């Protein structure tokens, strides 16, 4: 039987994956040979970089958000 994990662990894991994927896309690890959307495509050329940036910012915001304080 699986043990109970802390709440939000799945969100933190998704945020970490978004940060790593965003960094890989923005670092251009494919050297321009592999593109999700070709940069020359009209209107959609930089969509993959924009989505990678959004995922990176979201992931960093989730990972570095301070925990909410509870009323005492």
Predicted pLDDT of residue 36: 74
Domain membership of residue 4 (yes or no) is no
Backbone φ and ψ of 56, nearest 5° = -65, -45
Does the structure show a pLDDT above 80 at 3?
no
Domain membership of residue 23 (yes or no) is yes
47-64, pLDDT tens digit by residue? 888 999 999 999 999 999
Domain residues for the domain of 53 are 9-29+37-63
Does the structure show a pLDDT above 80 at 6?
no
Domain count of the fold of the chain:
1
Q: Identify which of 46, 54, 10, 14 has the alpha carbon closest to the alpha carbon of residue 28.
A: 46
The model carries a pTM of: 0.73
Predicted pLDDT of residue 1: 44
Domain membership of residue 42 (yes or no) is yes
């Amino acid at each position: 039987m699986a043990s109970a994990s802390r709440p939000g662990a799945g969100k933190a894991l998704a945020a970490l994956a978004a940060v790593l994927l965003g960094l890989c896309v923005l670092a251009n690890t494919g050297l321009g040979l592999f593109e999700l959307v070709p940069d020359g495509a009209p209107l959609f050329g930089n969509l993959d970089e924009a989505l990678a940036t959004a995922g990176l910012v979201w992931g960093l915001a989730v990972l570095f958000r301070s925990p909410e304080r509870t009323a005492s």
